[in-house]
Amino acid sequence: MKQQRLFIFINLLILFFHTSLFAQSQKDQQNIFEIGVSDSLYSKTLDEYRKIWVHVPESAMDNKNKKYPVLFVLD
């Protein structure tokens, strides 16, 4: 019985440290998007500001009339 408790305790410790090794820090999560401009929009429905990232290709500055596809990524 004592060995079984020790075995369970050791396995729980291993599980805890194993998962914390692969967790991303808050700083790492903020640096995921390195291109584009970060901005925010106010949502009346959610009653809060929502963060958005916008990236426009450099070639868009040369020709203002050229159209580009849009990609929306939802969280």
Does 24 map to a domain?
yes
Residue 71 lies in a domain: no
The residue segments making up the domain with residue 22 are: 2-61
Question: Taking the model in full, what pTM does it have?
Answer: 0.42
Residue 47 has a pLDDT of: 95
In a domain, 20, yes or no: yes
Residues 73, 32: Cα–Cα separation, whole Å: 14
In a domain, 52, yes or no: yes
pLDDT in the model for residue 63: 80
Q: What is the pLDDT of residues 3-57, one digit of tens each?
A: 888 888 887 777 666 655 555 555 555 555 567 788 899 999 999 999 888 888 8
Instruction: Give the pLDDT confidence score for residue 44 in this predicted structure.
Output: 94
Position 75 in a domain: no
Domains contained in the chain, number: 1
Q: Would 16 be classed as within a structural domain? A: yes
Between CA 34 and CA 28 the distance in angstroms is 11
Cα angle: 51, vertex 24, 32; to 5 degrees = 40
**72 part of a folded domain:** no
DSSP string, 2-70: HHHHHHHHHHHHHHHHHHHHSPPPHHHHHTS--SSEEEEEEETTTTEEEEEEE---GGGGT-TT-----
pLDDT for res 61: 79
